[in-house]
Amino acid sequence: MTQTRFHVSSDRASADRLFAALEADFEEEGYPLAAFDTDEVKGIREVSLYTDDDSASVRGRIEALLGQLAIEAKLEAELLPDIDWVALSLEGLQPVRAGRFLVHGSHDRHRRRTGDLAIEIEAGLAFGTGHHGTTSGCLEMIEIVGRRERPRTALDLGTGSAVLAIALAKMLHIPVLATDIDPIATKVAAGNARLNQVASFVDTRTAPGFHDPVFRAWAPFDLIVANILARPLMSLAPEMARHVTPGGSIILSGILERQRNAVLAAYSGQKFRHVHTLWRDGWVTLHLKR
């Protein structure tokens, strides 16, 4: 089946904002997304969306997002033949190092070093290969918080590919609940947990929100990691407070630099204190304690 690839080239910060907006706007359709640097010196990044649906409708939605984000970049489209573009793109996907973690595809297993906490993730329908600044920021923060606090239970909220849940299990050898609202993502997450030999630690569940019974069965958590977006994170602040142990930690990302203070304000109102911020490619990852 012929596909259409819509793509936009812009500066890294704008491209990352567009990627997050596309992910949220096309969440129900599950269209594959990709982002990679086309000019590292100039800081140019290309964002692509692949679809076999009504291209005119998709084009209109993407152009509307560009307008809302005030990104002055040209939207281009090209027809693609019936090729496994995910597999093809992986051939050029470089491993990502974040602290002791190495996130890689199957084609880069030879890059593992002694002492690495290696996580094998293939690009697919679920977001999270480690290449986005929010994911790598979470991985670095997990290593910092895990080493200092040694939590006994953890939650990966909005798990996507389960890269963060796998990281928690590999580093800490603790039970991790990995939830997502998308059953396709949950299926992918479970497969990745098996691939990385941590299925005995990671419980993947489809759960639409904290009202799901699975959270009552597991809570409270010593550590909650949520790489979502700023607005839902802010609305979830009261539930986060109810589901973390006294003195427990939360790691939050999917937050643009300009949204940092608003998120901190929402959580300070729930008696969380700010411990540390990591800044990555226009995004921030926050460590808060209750």
Q: Is the pLDDT of residue 285 over 90?
A: yes
Tens-digit pLDDT profile for residues 176-192: 999 998 888 899 899 99
Task: Map out the domains of the chain with their CATH numbers.
Answer: 3-83 (3.30.70.120), 130-289 (3.40.50.150)
CA distance 225 to 147: 15
Which is more confidently placed, 231 or 147?
A: 147
> In the sheet that 283-289 helps form, which strands lie side by side, from edge to edge?
202-206, 176-180, 154-157, 221-227, 244-256, 283-289, 273-280
Q: Report the pLDDT value the prediction gives residue 108, as an integer from 0 to 100.
A: 79
Is 59 in contact with 77 (CB distance < 8 Å)?
Answer: yes
User: pLDDT category, 94, cuts 50, 70, 90?
Assistant: low
Least confident of 5-14, 42-51, 130-139, 198-207: 130-139
What lies within 8 Å, CB to CB, of 69 at 6+ separation is: 14, 17, 18, 21
Is 101 in contact with 167 (CB distance < 8 Å)?
Answer: yes
CA distance 61 to 141: 34
Question: How many CA atoms are closer than 13 Å to the CA of 235, on its beta-carbon side?
Answer: 6
Using the 8-state DSSP alphabet, how is residue 63 labeled?
H
Is 178 in contact with 205 (CB distance < 8 Å)?
Answer: yes
CA distance 23 to 183: 16
Q: Is the pLDDT of residue 85 over 80?
A: no
In a 3-state reduction of DSSP, which class is residue 135?
helix
What lies within 8 Å, CB to CB, of 262 at 6+ separation is: 230, 234
User: pLDDT category, 89, cuts 50, 70, 90?
Assistant: very low
Least confident of 36-40, 167-171, 182-186, 270-274: 36-40
pTM, 2 dp: 0.69
Tens-digit pLDDT profile for residues 209-262: 899 999 999 999 999 999 988 889 999 999 999 999 999 999 999 898 989 999
Amino acid at position 169, single letter: A
